[in-house]
Amino acid sequence: MPRAPRRITQETLPALTHPTDPAANSAPHPHEHRTLRIVLLVFCSVALVVIAAGLIAGEIVLHRAGPIMKQKVIDTLSARFDSRVELDSFSVSLVKGFEVSGAGLKLYPNHLQMDAPLFAVDRFSFHAFGWRQLFRTPMFINRVQVSGLSIHLPPKQQRSELPHFDQSGASSGSPGAIKIQVAEIDIDRASLVLGTNKPGKVPLDFDIGKIRLTSVAPGRPMNFHAILINPKPVGNIDSTGQFGPFDADDPGNTPVDGDYSFSHADLSTIKGIGGMLESTGHYAGQLDNIEVDGETTTPDFHLTLAGHPVPLHTKFHAIVDGLNGDTHLQPVDAWLAQTHIVARGDVVRVPGRPGHDIRLDVTVGPGRIQDLLQLAVKTEPPLMTGQAQLHTSFELPPGPESVTSKLQLNGSFTISGAHFSNDKFQSAVDQLSLRGQGKANEANQERSALKDGNADGAQAADIGSEMHGDFLFLNDQLTVSGLDYQVPGADIAMNGVYSLDGQTFDFHGVARLQAKVSQLVTGWKSILLKPVDPFFAKNGAGTQVPIAITGTRSDPKIGLDFHHNRQ
Specify the pLDDT at position 200. Answer: 56
Q: Are the C-beta atoms of residues 292 and 301 closer than 8 Å to each other? A: no
Choose the most confident range, by mean pLDDT, from 135-139, 187-191, 348-352, 560-564.
187-191
Torsion-angle region of 489 (φ positive above 0: left; ψ -120 to 50: alpha; else: beta): left
* DSSP state, residue 336: E
**CB count, 10 Å around CB of 559?**
12
For residues 445 and 270, the model is more confident at 445
151 pLDDT tier (thresholds 50, 70, 90): confident
Q: What is the pLDDT of residues 86-109, one digit of tens each?
A: 999 888 776 666 777 889 999 888
Q: Is the pLDDT of residue 456 over 60?
A: no
Specify the pLDDT at position 166. Answer: 47
Specify the pLDDT at position 562. Answer: 66
**Beta carbons within 8 Å of 127's beta carbon, 6+ residues apart:** 96, 97, 98, 99, 100, 141, 142, 143
The whole-angstrom separation of Cα 308 and Cα 165 is: 54
- Average the pLDDT over 256-280 and give the result: 86
Q: What is the pLDDT of residues 300-328, one digit of tens each?
A: 998 877 788 999 999 999 888 766 667 88
Q: Is the pLDDT of residue 249 over 90?
A: no
Choose the most confident range, by mean pLDDT, from 102-111, 350-359, 377-386.
102-111
Q: Is the pLDDT of residue 407 over 70?
A: yes
Instruction: Reduce the secondary structure of 508-547 to three states and give it as a string.
Output: EEEEEECCCHHHHCCHHHHHHHHHHHHHHCCCCCCEEEEE
Specify the pLDDT at position 10. Answer: 36
Specify the pLDDT at position 364. Answer: 93
For residues 511 and 74, the model is more confident at 511
Q: What is the pLDDT of residues 489-511, one digit of tens each?
A: 999 999 999 876 667 788 899 99
**Which of these, 421, 389, 355, lies nearest to 27 by C-alpha position?**
355
Q: What is the pLDDT of residues 139-149, one digit of tens each?
A: 677 788 999 98
- Average the pLDDT over 344-366 and give the result: 83
**Which of these, 192, 258, 270, lies nearest to 231 by C-alpha position?**
270
The whole-angstrom separation of Cα 404 and Cα 14 is: 12
Q: Are the C-beta atoms of residues 312 and 275 closer than 8 Å to each other? A: yes
List the beta strands (DSSP E) in 244-380. 255-266, 273-274, 276-286, 289-303, 310-320, 327-336, 339-350, 353-368
**Which of these, 289, 300, 215, 230, lies nearest to 261 by C-alpha position?**
230
Alpha carbon of residue 536 to chain centroid: 54
Q: What is the pairing mode between strands 139-153 and 180-194?
A: parallel
Give the CA angle between residues 187, 190, 193 to the nearest 5°.
145
The whole-angstrom separation of Cα 328 and Cα 100 is: 45
The whole-angstrom separation of Cα 147 and Cα 112 is: 26
Read off φ and ψ for residue 503, nearest 5 degrees. -95, -5
The whole-angstrom separation of Cα 233 and Cα 536 is: 59
Q: Where are the alpha helices (DSSP H) in 357-476?
A: 369-376, 403-406, 423-436, 440-451, 455-458
**Beta carbons within 8 Å of 540's beta carbon, 6+ residues apart:** none
